[in-house]
Amino acid sequence: MKCQILHESAGRMRVHIVRQRMTLKQADQLEYYLANLPYVSGVKVFDRTGDAVIRYTGGQARGRLIRALAVFAYDTPQVQALVPEQTGRALSRTYENRLAGVVIRRYLRRLLLPAPVRHVLAVFRALKYVKEGLKCLLKGKIEVPVLDATAITFSILRGDFETASSVMFLLRIGEILEEWTHKKSVDDLARTMSLGVDQVWKQIGGQEILVPLHDVQVGDCLIVRTGSMIPLDGRVTDGEAMVNQASMTGESEPVRKTAGSLVYAGTVVEEGTCTVVVEKAAGSGRYDRIVKMIEESEKLKSAAEDQASHLADRLVPYSLGATVLTYLLTGNATKAIAILMVDFSCALKLAMPVTVLSAMRECSNYGISVKGGRFMEAVSEASAIVFDKTGTLTHASPHVVRVIPFGGKDADEMLRLAACLEEHYPHSMANAVVAGAAERGLLHEERHSEVEYVVAHGISSSVDGEKVVIGSYHFVFEDEQCVIPEGEQAAFDALPREYSLLFLAISGTLAAVICIEDPLRDEAPDVIRQLHDCGFSRIVMMTGDNKRTAKTVAAKVGVDECYYEVLPEDKAAFIRAEHEAGRTVIMIGDGVNDSPALSEADAGIAISTGAAIAREIADITISADDLYALVTLRQISCAMMQRIHRNYRTIIGFNFGLIVLGVAGILPPATSAFLHNTSTLAITMRSMKNLL
């Protein structure tokens, strides 16, 4: 690609792309290509001028950057793969053009058309606002459209066409900016929400092969099991499953899927196993569905947003009443109309949602995905927080320390068998077993029949005609009634309790115990301390692990309370009890067994590397890199509520001042309308700024 360096300083370069015209698509391709270079710290491509401003770091970065620009080519598969389905550039261009069109048309009319023609056009444009006002009245509501219609109609009846035209111009500008602001916030948020599925089980020649998601083509058959996310749109060809479709359809109850049923990318199998033939490739239509979900979901609205919306509507009758009263007392129509030029609802209804959407977008910059404003509000108000242990306070990548065989079994063979069963289920403990087998070079073929996953307990299957179970002590010995081989009770009693233990039994007899070390996150103690400092008065750890392991971890991290050997329903019951005590509760987990508690909590938070069902049910997902995201989430949530309350005070105070000045005759109606709209935009723009 030919380009010319226009300006250069230390670590910054502005280049001009030598071509007649750059399309929006080409600008996106160049921008994402450059942004993906490891030595580029920032890039902005301007399609209108064909320029790119690039910031880079490193001693050899300048030369490498020039070479990268030289070899760049548009529309290559490698470049296209870097560009997401939606980038936001086209959306911004659409609204920029609409704004420019409104402004240009207004001033061309004022310059080229005689006054009588402008007056006729003003009456014609006013019909839209009158119609909206009448619609409100016919529905028995007195809301903002009634105020707008009244102000415009009064101005026209008084022969003040310039004021009416100015009011309609400002209202139109406000409408475009409001729509643009909201759509941009939703667009930014939608682009941060991804499936988080990198690999899938593909059925090839009767076998299941783990393949990268981007290698899957239309017509391929995928196997999806309990706790896993359906990665692509398709149709069930075999099996039966209960699928949670809340993320796509809003249905609260899981839907039964059998052969012939359609399934959608991003939904989760809560129970069962099914084979899905892919009908849509990765990304097809998913962005649009996410946008629809965000815009329609009631979860998006926080209590503060609802309060703002209701307050705005309740103030409209008072504004109309004050207008009539002012006219009756003063006989001055100009002073009365000044009240109509100012309403509280524009700023209240726009600034509050924008504040929430901006806070959610800012969270995404820290690896935090939030499904709705009310969950951030819950985080800001919460006094109690409940942690799962495995994969949450401890690392999401535990590892196998040793395998202790029983009944004369071979340790490597038992680990190989365990990995064969565990590889189908996305949980940190299962991943540890699979990784442990891989480290030891133990290849495991598909020897088992249908696998049954029992939530929070373990896995049951059949291998070479023998029943095999693997899971917790409770599952293996109490539920499945397995026994310890004769003469090996002493070895069983001597099992190291500082590790998490997985029990493997064949034909009802213990065959091996897999010891898994679950190292504590380095940052966990400091995060717990900071959460205490942020206002959490009760921090609890709940785990299905044994007493000794749980107590050790609890002491190291500094939680207030610790509960061990608990079942999923125990965690949910604890949260219900906290609710009855009047506490707002947050739950943090990563596994299938955490799902009931995540659903029960005021705000359920899942770890991004956890089970798909946990991420689906959770209201918030944080990055697995570190737990400091929890502190950041609390800080952003509290700052969001502070900004909302500050916006309330500013909007009410400023607009009330405009009304007083208008009634006093100091401000004419057009000036009041201008200042009102300007303040609304200023507050809205301020609400879009980052909180931290």
CA count, 13 A, side-chain hemisphere, 412: 6
- Residues 517, 364 contacting (CB under 8 angstroms): no
The single residue of 47, 160, 388, 619 carrying the catalytic annotation is 388
Q: Catalytic: 388?
A: yes
- Residues 191, 283 contacting (CB under 8 angstroms): no
Q: Residues near 169 by Cβ (< 8 Å), separated by ≥ 6?
A: 102, 106
For residue 555, how many other CB atoms are within 10 A of its CB? 10
The candidate with the shortest Cα–Cα distance to 176, out of 691, 689, 672, 680, is 680
d(CA 72, CA 311): 55
- Residues 446, 480 contacting (CB under 8 angstroms): no
Rg (CA), the chain: 31
The candidate with the shortest Cα–Cα distance to 337, out of 678, 677, 662, is 662
Pairing of strands 255-257, 620-622: unpaired
d(CA 133, CA 119): 21
Question: What are the beta bridge partners of residue 483?
Answer: 509
Q: What is the DSSP string of 294-332?
A: HHH-GGG--HHHHHHHHHHHHHHHHHHHHHHHHHHHH--
Question: What angle is formed at CA 153 by the lines to CA 151 and CA 155, rounded to 5 degrees?
Answer: 70
Distances (CA, A) of 564 to 511, 543, 550, 645: 25, 5, 6, 41
Q: Residues near 315 by Cβ (< 8 Å), separated by ≥ 6?
A: 343, 344, 345
The catalytic residue positions are 388
